[in-house]
Every structure is written in C-alpha cells, then in structure tokens.
Chains A and B, each alone.
Chain A
Amino acid sequence: MSDSPADRVARFVDDLLHGRRPRRFHASQEEVEAMTAAAGMASARVGADLPGKAALDRIHSRLAAALDESPAFDRHVTRRVLLRTFGTAAAAMVIGVGLDEVVTRQGKAPVESGGGGSTVLMPDGGAWKPVASVTQLPAGHAMTVSTGAIDAVIVNDGGTISAVSGICTHLGCRLQPDDAGKKLDCPCHQTAFGWSGKVLYYRLKAEPPNLPQIPSRVNGDQIELFVV
C-alpha cells in the first residue's frame, strides 16, 4: 500500500466513517488540516455529535472515581456530595426562587440524604403541617398538595405514605400524577418520575435530578409534611 498524504487521510476518514477510533500516525501540517476538516464533516449528519446515554454514564463514572481517588478534592466536593446532590436548580425551584436570586451559606452541615441521587428537603424553620386527610388518599393514589411555599405530591403506595416535590427538576413545571402508571408526569418535556421521586424517563440532553423527598407522617387521620 502506498503511503501518500491522501492515502493516510483516506484511512483516517475511513475510521471516522466506521465509528472507529482512528489509527495514530505522524501527520504533516497539511494532513492535520485535512483531518480536522474531516472531523468537522463527521458532524455533518444531524445528531452525529450527540453522546449516547452509555457514554454519559461512563464519563460520570470516571468523574466520580476521580473524586474518590483524590483526597485533595474532599474539602471542596466529595463523591457523596456528587451522588447526593444534583444541583441547586432543583432546590431553587422547589422553594420558588431562581438561581440568580439566591444566597449561599458556606460551611453548614448538609442535610440528610435518601441516597441513590435522591435528596430530602429539610427546610430550616420547618414544621409538621397537615396537608390532607388519610381518607382523601386511598392506596394506589397520588395527590398534589400545596403549603403555599412548597408544592408536593403525596403518595399512598400500598398503605405506605410518602411525599416528594411536585415540581419537575428540569425547568420547574408542575407534575401531574398518573395513578395507573404509578408515576408523575411533567407536562412540559415528556419527563416522568416514579412515586419515589426517581427519574423514570426523559427526553432531554441530560438526565434531570430525581425529585427531592419531603418528610411525611400520618398523625391521627391527617397526613403531615415537614415544610415551611
């Protein structure tokens, strides 16, 4: 096989078009120019440059692993925090303020977490407040409630009562309970959450955070939430 610049670039293009990692070789500046143009052309098909979920998961895992292996990072961020928190946006939406309207306080102990990417909304100055009677929420049903400050969905899953935020963590749309599917649908972007708050599916570029859980209890015949 001859080895002219045109041949080497053709092999590079072949690798791109077959979805292979291109073979490495010493390229002249002219070849590099042609190859970078080829890389741009490989994006010509709409969506060719979008990562699949598997790729995103692997990138996420590598970041999490890097955090685990680097004690130097612990002061700023730990893997627990990475896995536990999915951004301030969700919390800001829950309490009804935008990111540009908030103030942070550093050095305060984090609240408890449910693990697995879900979080528990534990507001300062919260109190148990009744939001519905038990008879209003038969088994197998979910119901939206509002305390004024917080929109929530209370769920009766086979007799176990729980509550999650009623606001989609993507852009803040109000979720709609779907009892038959045991899920909460976002009317805005075809995203759905399970009754536990876990994301079931989404049609977004990045997976949205799970819904924060809201502490709940049954007190007498009342369902109460720990809210502001």
Chain B
Amino acid sequence: MLAVTELRIVGNPEPDDLRAIETAVYPDWEAVYADNVVGIYQLVFRRVGNAADAEDLAAEVLMQTLKTLRLPAPVHNVRAYLVKTARTVLADHWRRHYAAKDAAAELQQVPPDALTSPHNSAAAERAQRVLSLLPDNFRRILELRFLRGYSVREAANELGVTESNARVLQFRALRKAADLELEVLR
C-alpha cells in the first residue's frame, strides 16, 4: 500500500524529505471519498430533495474539489473546501434549472463545518423542528404530504378543502417553513 511506505513515526530519524503532520491528513482521493461521500450526499440532498439530483451534484462537488485541491492535505481544509464547493454547485444548480437569481440565501445556511458535525439524523430533526413551529393548518398539509405521502387530492379531502386551496395552502406553508429555516433555525 502506498501509504504504508509513507508512514513514519514522528521523531524517527529519517531523511530530510520527511515532514511532520500536526493534524490528520487525507493522503489520497480514496480517503477523501470514503470519509466524505455520504456527508456530501446528505448535504446536497437536503437542498434538492431528490436522489437523482443529489447523486449528480455530490459527484460534481467531489469532482470539482478533486480538480483544484492538492493532496495530501489536512482533513479540516479539505472538508471546508468541499462545503464551499457544494455551495457553489448548489447555487449553480438552482440558477440553471429554475432561473433562481439568488438561491444563495438558503445556501448561506450551509455551515462551513457541515461535514464535521454529526449529520446522521440532523436533516430529519431539522425538518421536524420546522414542522413543530408552523401554524396548525400549515403543519397539517406538510405532514400529510411529506410524512404520510398523501397526494394533493387526498390531503384536500382530509382537510376538507378544494384541491386548488390545498395547493395554495401547501405553497404558503412551504414559504413559511423557508422563513423559519432562515430566521429561527439560523
């Protein structure tokens, strides 16, 4: 293994082409990939909401980072760069496909340490928290749609409104949820 011959215990008297590493480093791209691919996927999934786009964008983030970053590099530097790249890639995605002039407001919510904080159930918890802060009628429509998988028609029947009204209610609920994301949840 390449890494094996590269390893030396600190302080070992070796030729001067050795350099000390004070923090953990990624020696190669496989290490970057293995350690971050799931976190990157989750980060982008939360901002596109579907697996097909999440897969494409996660690959793009890793690819763009690969093109510009030189390895070995400290873990925290690589992760910060991955998050920065993810922001750019996501903003570009929203701009290209939905003509969003400024998707940046939401994307600024991606913390620089997004890949170092535990992320296993963070997205679900965050969504649940947003739901809990919504007014009742907004929360009901979003729960029916996103948690119980109701169609607009089924949700409308459940709520005793027309389908058209259910769509408007959903739209307003989502806009309120977006406000909460920005204002209440940082």
A residues sitting closer than 8 Å to B (CB atoms) are 4-7, 9-10, 13-17, 19-22, 24-27, 29-52, 55-56, 58-60, 62-63, 66-67, 70, 73, 76-77, 81-92, 94-95, 97, 99-111, 113, 119-124, 205-209, 212
Contacts and interface: CB of A to CB of B under 8 A. Distances in A.
A39 B49 contact: yes
Contact of B177 (A31, A37, A212): A37
A120 B94 contact: no
A85 B30 contact: yes
Nearest to A43: B123
B50 A29 contact: no
A88 B6 contact: yes
21 contacts: A4-B167, A13-B145, A19-B51, A33-B174, A47-B124, A66-B63, A77-B28, A77-B29, A82-B29, A85-B28, A86-B31, A87-B30, A91-B1, A91-B3, A91-B4, A94-B4, A106-B17, A119-B2, A122-B5, A124-B5, A206-B35
Given A21-B50, A111-B2, A100 B22 contact: yes
Interface of B: 1-10, 12, 14-15, 17-31, 33-35, 37-38, 41-42, 45-55, 58-59, 62-63, 66-67, 70-72, 94, 97-103, 105-106, 121, 123-124, 126-128, 130-131, 142, 145-147, 149, 151-152, 164, 167-168, 170-171, 174-175, 177-179, 181
Nearest to A112: B1
Nearest to B27: A88
B172 to A, nearest CB: 8
B2 A81 contact: yes
A179 B20 CA distance: 42
B183 to A, nearest CB: 12
Nearest to B124: A46
Contacts of B168: 4, 6
B54 A33 contact: no
Contact of B47 (A39, A60, A206, A207): A39
Contacts of B98: 24-27, 31-32, 35
A44 B49 CA distance: 10
Given A33-B175, A45-B124, A110-B5, A50 B152 contact: no
Contacts of B121: 46
Instruction: Report the 10 A-B pairs with minimum CB-CB distance, sorted nearest first.
Output: A39-B49, A119-B1, A87-B31, A42-B49, A44-B127, A43-B123, A34-B174, A6-B171, A88-B3, A37-B178
Contacts of B105: 33
Contact of B178 (A21, A33, A103): A33
Contact of B131 (A20, A30, A44, A85): A44
Contact of A100 (B23, B103, B145, B170): B23
A15 B53 CA distance: 12
B62 A59 contact: yes
Contacts of B38: 50-51, 56, 205-206
